Amino acid sequence: MTSQTPTSRPKAADISKDSSTVETSALNRQMLAILDFGSQYSELIARRIRETEVYSEVLSYRTTAEQLQQLNPKGIILSGGPSSVYDRGAPACDPEIWNLGIPVLGVCYGMQLMVKQLGGQVERAERGEYGKAALLIDDTADLLKNVTEASTMWMSHGDSVTRLPEGFTVLAHTENTPQAAIANPHKHFYGVQFHPEVVHSPEGGELIRNFVYDICECEPTWTTEAFVEEAIREVRAKVGNQRVLLALSGGVDSSTLAFLLHQAIGDQLTCMFIDQGFMRKREPERLIEIFDKRFHINVEYIDAGARFIEKMKGVTDPEEKRKIIGHEFIQVFEEESTRLGPFDYLAQGTLYPDVIESADTNVDPQTGERVAVKIKSHHNVGGLPKDLRFKLIEPLRKLFKDEVRKVGRAVNLPDDIVRRHPFPGPGLAIRILGEVTPERLRILREADYIIRQEIRRSDSYHDFWQAFGVLLPVRSVGVMGDQRTYAYPIVLRLVSSEDGMTADWSRAPYELLESISNRVVNEVDGVNRVVYDITSKPPGTIEWE
């Protein structure tokens, strides 16, 4: 996403969506549709396509050929998935898709489904293939153009194609998989048994570009500047002279939205910043300074810390914490919006992953079973009260996080906010394991401040995806001076990642670890130990709760 924006249509599952929601209407003159069969990488496929400056959307595998015709995609990608195509009730796409005359790329499960529906055969492999494999190329035309012989591709399958459909040929194989890439070039049908979208497939991006540009004949029309122009036009047309309310958290999403809306409608925008008592040290003051005083964006500061902390008494379960904080936030928001109102629109920083993960597009209407599992509850989508008094406006709902950062730069959001590390909505409340108390908040807030100071001092802030401390609800014995101590440990979490979907613990310099440990233990009363978390994601998560 870098310069001119195509037109957007609602995805098939969203055609009946409330028309009060503002979407970018011009985003898919050039678009690719991804049919999701429950793969953990479906969003990643969409992002990789958008990196080629072509718009893409993730749709339910139940999207019909007729609905796809209405969307008029330049190409279709069938995602991977956890099922086997020969399982009873395995998800399948509308077979009429093969008669649309649109290029199709099947990835892993998607390739196997293509083979099965077009008359080939898929069976349980004698040897599954998981992890890195060298791709041995038989035909470099079209899909594998500029892909290096024996380049690494990421495999993850226990089934294999044992008979190709009529008209298909083998493009590449691996040591264990005779049909690692296949094609029917006359009908523009292609399949790969590996995952070109993951970072473990270094030349997978080249394959994706070949499909997007050479096979689907797309043009690079998905761009930041045109998105901003289109979004501003649509917001102005939708809002007119009415008032808009935005809940501002200080994070990248809501901050970008605030700057975008302020450019569109100026003083018709009111931002409400609710301080729930779980923010990091000095962040509320800094937010007011930047938005209200420096950029003259109207921000109403609501100090609600006492009532939130009171609600946390005795609560230890992380999901219960999230639910309580979310419910209380809505209560405060409704009270204050009544006081400050009336408002006609509520603006939300909903992003595309929120829409995908919070939607029910992958629930089988007959069995009620989900194809993909929702890992965490989201605050932006699905967390609103049923009797919402506002009309919704969500200009960012088609964007991924990296695209939001580009939009932030385009609307002159300060770089330190654009590049800010992700921070959870419930704040420090879910970085304190167990009960959240004023004393534990004080300890973690001070420790977190020192951690951020030290990584900035070492000029390594942007070397990490996230860097933070976690307070554990246990105490250990220590010695400080000649005195015995019995105090809390702080877990230091420094991770490296490209998108947060996977992450590795950072091999931080010993000098940095030492300076953080020394300062936290010496300066934060109540802490006598710092430990370093060396767990990657997976199997762990980035946050502890």
Active site residue ranges:
108, 195, 197
Task: Count CA atoms within 13 Å of residue 450 on its CB side.
Answer: 25
- Alpha-carbon distances, residue 248 vs 27, 184, 251, 297, 382 (angstroms): 26, 51, 8, 11, 18
3 state DSSP class of 98: helix
C-beta separation of 234 from 22 below 8 A? yes
Element (H, E) at 258: helix 252-265
Cα–Cα distance for residue pair 172/534, rounded to 1 Å: 38
Alpha helices in 466-509 (DSSP H): none
Contacts of 19 (CB under 8 A, 6+ apart): none
Cα dihedral angle (11, 16, 19, 25), rounded to 10 degrees? 20
Cα–Cα distance for residue pair 207/192, rounded to 1 Å: 10
Nearest to 276 by CA among 315, 311, 224: 311
C-beta separation of 83 from 37 below 8 A? yes
354: Cα separation from own chain's centroid: 7
Which is it for strands 194-195 and 181-184: parallel, antiparallel or unpaired?
Answer: unpaired
260: Cα separation from own chain's centroid: 20
C-beta separation of 336 from 306 below 8 A? no
Cα–Cα distance for residue pair 290/414, rounded to 1 Å: 9
Cα–Cα distance for residue pair 280/446, rounded to 1 Å: 9
3 state DSSP class of 266: helix
3 state DSSP class of 56: strand
Give me the amino acid identity at 350.
Answer: T
- Length of the chain measured in residues: 545
What are the backbone angles phi and psi of residue 236, rounded to the nearest 5°?
-60, -40
Counting Cβ atoms within 10 Å, is residue 146 exposed (0-12), middle (13-18) or buried (19+)?
exposed
Cα–Cα distance for residue pair 269/449, rounded to 1 Å: 32
Nearest to 424 by CA among 314, 300, 319, 297: 319
